[in-house]
């Protein structure tokens, strides 16, 4: 019996040790790098969630270095373990729209007429995230918005390089617009939406559909704390919130290089702006400027940092960053003016808060009707915590309520 007990403890020790090491590394990494300001809600909940995220990313990196599998495979596997449930007032169907996998959510309650429809593009840096991971979020939006929701399962990088993700979102949206009636949806009441990088894809889809006469026009777009330019990483929010979970400024650039399949050795030059040609600085500088950001957002220690000298070799390796399908702020005036009514959601403690403010101003200056919700106490990625129970952050439901209210107001 003593021998069996010793063997049991030995097995437990072998299994538990890697997890303990990962945990202690995550705690050390978080406390050595994270800078949480006083106004951020529930800092300890955020730290705990961040520790789990760091453990997953680190485990993936270890596996990749050992040659076992790619980092992204580990991240996908673990995040897909998240438990999902379906609200009893809804049902869903897994379908393909012109070859793109989608999950379509419907309210069970009958409707007097055709419902509104919403196409949702999930986040995840373009390399992870899925219909399953965002299932509970889509439940909430469908139920509270009383609409038919299409969650797009776009193909992921690096197996499917950019711009596959945007193209899949466009393909699914076109199919839905062309066949809306078949899903009980008014084709004139279709909204495109996205969270984080999904908002980049959604905004690019909205711009691409401008001027199309062969499909119904989009009724609106909903863009949840997304980035809209990859030119200047030293705007006020980039500096103020550079070390706030769940997305550090440096980490976003790192994951961006992974998404595009580029070398992470480019990160420092991109952070400094050396990838931006001089002619683009002249053309886009009027839109990407701290001068366009209200003064109240510059109070937490902002210092103006000019772009570093242009390095042609960096731009040649990474021209995709400045393409309009990834930097929506750079679309022509003729396109911006025709965009549909828009809800922009920003978070005060998000490194990419100011991208939302800049895009908001660009739309408003072009005559587009813009609604804006600013989550004063939240940071990037908050809505993913909406079903974390005790660890759910209040900004998650607050933002989803705003999305539902906006949709119902159309």
pLDDT (tens digit per residue) in 193-217: 999 999 999 999 999 999 899 999 9
- Chain segment 234-268, per-residue pLDDT in tens: 999 999 999 999 999 999 999 999 999 999 999 99
Is the same domain home to 44 and 95?
A: no
Whole-number Å distance between alpha carbons of 392 and 45: 8
374 is catalytic: no
Cα 261 to Cα 250: distance, rounded to the nearest angstrom: 17
Last residue of a domain, one of 79, 104, 122: 79
Same domain, 160 and 287: yes
Please state the length of the chain. 410
Structural tokens at position 96 = 């393909």
Tens of pLDDT, residue by residue over 76-126, are: 999 888 778 888 999 999 999 999 999 999 999 999 999 999 999 999 999
Closest by CA position to 375, among listed 241, 243, 271, 242: 241
- pTM value is 0.94
Identify the domain boundary among 31, 46, 79: 79
Same domain, 393 and 271: yes
Give catalytic status of residue 160 as yes or no: no
Kindly state whether residues 218 and 307 are assigned to the same domain: yes
Looking at residue 14, what is its pLDDT?
44
Residue 145 CB coordination number (10 Å): 23
Assess whether 207 and 284 both reside in one domain.
yes
Residues 70 and 93 in one domain: no
End-to-end CA distance of the chain: 70
Q: Do 171 and 282 fall within a single domain?
A: yes
Q: Pick the catalytic residue from 232, 350, 354, 387.
A: 350
Is 168 assigned a catalytic role?
Answer: no
- The reported pLDDT for the residue numbered 16 is 63
Mind giving me the DSSP string for 145-171?
A: HTSEEEEE----TTTS-TTHHHHHHHH
Q: Do 72 and 138 share a structural domain?
A: no
Residue (of 11, 47, 8) closest to 27 by Cα position: 47
In total, how many domains does the chain have?
A: 2
Domain limit, last residue, from 79, 99, 119:
79
Domain CATH for 350:
3.40.50.1820
Distances (CA, A) of 290 to 161, 214, 235, 306, 348: 32, 39, 6, 11, 16
Q: Are residues 97 and 49 in the same domain?
A: no
| Nearest-angstrom CA–CA distance, 200 and 209 | 14
pLDDT of residue 12: 42
Domain identity same for 127 and 68: no
Q: Give the Cα-Cα-Cα angle 21, 25, 27 (nearest 5 degrees).
A: 120
Determine which one of 196, 237, 251, 346 is catalytic.
Answer: 196
Residues 92, 48 share a domain: no
Residues 190 and 117 sit within 8 Å (Cβ to Cβ): yes
Q: Give the residues of the chain that fall short of pLDDT 70.
A: 1-16
Residues 356, 379, 380, 387: which is the catalytic one? 380
Which residues form the domain of 108? 85-410
Domain shared by 66 and 100, yes or no: no
């Amino acid at each position: 019996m003593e021998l069996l007990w010793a063997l049991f403890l030995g097995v437990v020790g072998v299994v538990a040790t890697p997890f303990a090491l990962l945990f202690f590394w995550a705690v050390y990494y978080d406390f050595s790098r994270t800078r949480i300001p006083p106004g951020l809600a529930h800092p300890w909940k955020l730290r705990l969630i961040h520790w789990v995220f760091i453990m997953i990313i680190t485990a993936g990196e270890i596996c990749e270095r050992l040659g076992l599998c790619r980092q992204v495979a580990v991240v996908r596997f673990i995040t897909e373990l998240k438990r999902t449930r379906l609200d009893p007032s809804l049902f869903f169907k897994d379908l393909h729209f012109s070859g793109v996998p989608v999950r379509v959510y419907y309210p069970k309650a009958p409707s007097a007429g055709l419902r509104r429809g919403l196409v949702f593009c999930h986040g995840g840096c373009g390399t992870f995230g899925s219909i399953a991971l965002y299932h509970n979020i889509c439940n909430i939006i469908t139920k509270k918005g009383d609409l038919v929701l299409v969650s797009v399962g776009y193909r992921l990088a690096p197996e499917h390089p950019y711009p596959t993700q945007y193209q899949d979102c466009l393909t699914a949206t076109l199919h839905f617009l062309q066949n809306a009636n078949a899903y009980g949806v008014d084709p004139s009441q279709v909204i495109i939406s996205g969270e984080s990088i999904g908002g980049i894809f959604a905004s690019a889809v909205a711009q691409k559909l401008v001027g199309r006469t062969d499909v119904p026009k989009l009724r609106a777009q909903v863009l949840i704390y997304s980035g809209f330019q990859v030119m200047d990483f030293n705007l006020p929010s980039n500096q103020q919130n550079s070390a706030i979970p769940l997305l550090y400024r440096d980490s976003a650039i790192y994951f961006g290089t992974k998404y595009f399949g580029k070398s992470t050795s480019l990160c420092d030059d991109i952070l400094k702006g050396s990838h931006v040609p001089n002619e683009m600085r002249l053309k886009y500088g009027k839109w990407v400027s701290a001068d366009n950001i209200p003064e109240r957002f510059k109070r937490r220690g902002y210092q103006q940092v000019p772009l570093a000298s242009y390095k042609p070799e960096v731009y040649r390796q990474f021209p995709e960053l400045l393409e309009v399908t990834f930097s929506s702020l750079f679309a022509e005036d003729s396109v911006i003016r025709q965009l549909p009514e828009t809800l922009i959601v920003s978070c005060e403690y998000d490194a990419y808060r100011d991208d939302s403010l800049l895009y908001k101003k660009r739309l408003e200056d072009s005559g587009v009707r813009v609604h804006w919700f600013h989550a004063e106490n939240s940071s990037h990625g908050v809505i993913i915590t909406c079903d974390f129970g005790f660890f759910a952050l209040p900004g998650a439901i607050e933002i989803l309520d705003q999305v539902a209210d906006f949709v119902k107001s159309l």
